Structure 1
């Protein structure tokens, strides 16, 4: 039999994935879409905090950072105990915390109180999301499972961009609360305790790689953190920056909705390229291109630059996530490090908006914010380049693994 390539190989991998524990995968997919809801919808949520609650641009950066920093804290907490505690109990705990914090945000609208409530909301989301991400990391095809997750973000992101601006601030909080509560009847679909489902060959490769260097997964997580400094700052302020530059508000809103669907193309291309060139080499090109699209705005925002930057960013956000999560999965035995993914992303999301807020507080303007985003993306690219060189010297097969 001839070796499968291209689309045929991708379809074969999809069939294997769906023969896995489909119930766990389905509920985990729903959970990551809900858990990452604030991250994905942060441009319109940030604008809502300004227009509906009267927060300043600097305060928005602090609040967004607290929310997504809570996501990181909840993820770290979960990663420490997920091997010992019933997953269903963890998810239920996360739901209770997130729902309670969102409910209190309806009652308390002053900046100081909202700041800390958003941290607790993020903490509950972090617990909830970390369990879901670990399910993907322990599937029989973890890289492909992450691709499915990111592919689905295109639809959830477009939905949030379309629906959330039509809601009041309380309506936004209520939407998140309902989405969390819907999970409860389906908790039985989750495995109570982690069970690795990686095939023996993949597991052997992973164990050998980890033995060679236990630092490699942590290096991947640090690079993801840097990438999300860029993503966090850019995605928090892109709408506010465009409006500040007198860009047509209708154009800004519609662009954020339609650019979300670039994720579909990004996932498709990423799958095909990874089967041919591995994960790290295309990731290097993607990060350079993303940095260029973000850095373009450091020279001023015009409508053509805005359109080019946003569409490039959305295409390559998912593109880079597919490769970064897939690369981590290649070094991850049974989802141990996968549970830290929301932490790495969340830490980037708290640092990015806060760095951007500090830059704005010094009156350096949005141009300096986007220059900082460019620098973070390029630093992540350099780390992956060094990692690829190291792997090429020590384990060429792993360096180009898909």
Structure 2
């Protein structure tokens, strides 16, 4: 079958009339191949787009970690900006987009690998596209070199922790104090195996090794810095994927908050935004995970020159801060998961808050929540796209909302 690609879908596949989905194809290209359902899995490119480039990674054909390495950087940037613009326009919202901040190659400091024991040995890597096969990642162009160098260690850990019945997940985070490795989904382990894992960690010089949230070995606290503030995240805790991306998001949050003196940080995590913002404003941080809340408070107590910071553990999906609770603050930071925060946004809209700094990893749910704020009298002042997941379809953004007059709760 021969088709011409009209556009890219949100997962990075080329889309032709039908629709027919063609991975690895770009708009304007003619391709042919065998149609399997609504997909051409192994297309032959008959006419090449000027935006096509040679993938610099030797694993690109088999690894599922990247989907757009065959496209030029300017093209990918325009495409990701276009996804955000399309999501906003679908809600009838303006799209005042201030460009895109893209992290450089080999800057990803956090990744989740799959590890598996087989009859022939151990394999650690990323799953292939639409496949249960695990692909090794030697020569990866996304990860920081320190993580790549640790692959033999991850194989040893997998050999010790995995059963023959299922994979383990290895969440690996690189920081200035070394590697922090969190294993999830391992077999039920006895004392001897736990001791073996601890020896592997010690031999490799890991900062910390944990298993299903429990620390197995720690040589030194695996600290991260949030705007210059030192914090020790909990094992496997969420962290912005690159330092460059984190810096770009923090700069956006600071610009959006302006001179706000009292700030509430919703979905605060371990303090990515709350800790640096507390250097100049009073902050109340709200996070659903108690261990993350404790890590945030401990980091604030260990800092110097901070304004007052308080923190609460609360499930903001089931129990959002009510409008009356929010009305004592000048501004809000909100950084929800992919599902967005419809209930919490409704309370912000009904509150007296006049400024919102929003972070999102899903343009569609962001646009939904943005519409609620705009309907309540907020203006969407600007949006900046932040690409921490280079060569992937993943899109993140930061945005600023404001309204001239406070609304009585």
Which bin holds the TM-score, normalised by the shorter protein?
Answer: under 0.3
Higher RCO (CA-CA < 8 Å; seq separation 6+) = 1
TM-score under structure 1 length normalisation? 0.23
Larger Rg computed on CA atoms: 2
TM-score under structure 2 length normalisation? 0.23
Q: Which structure shows the higher helix fraction?
A: 1
Q: Which structure shows the higher strand fraction?
A: 2
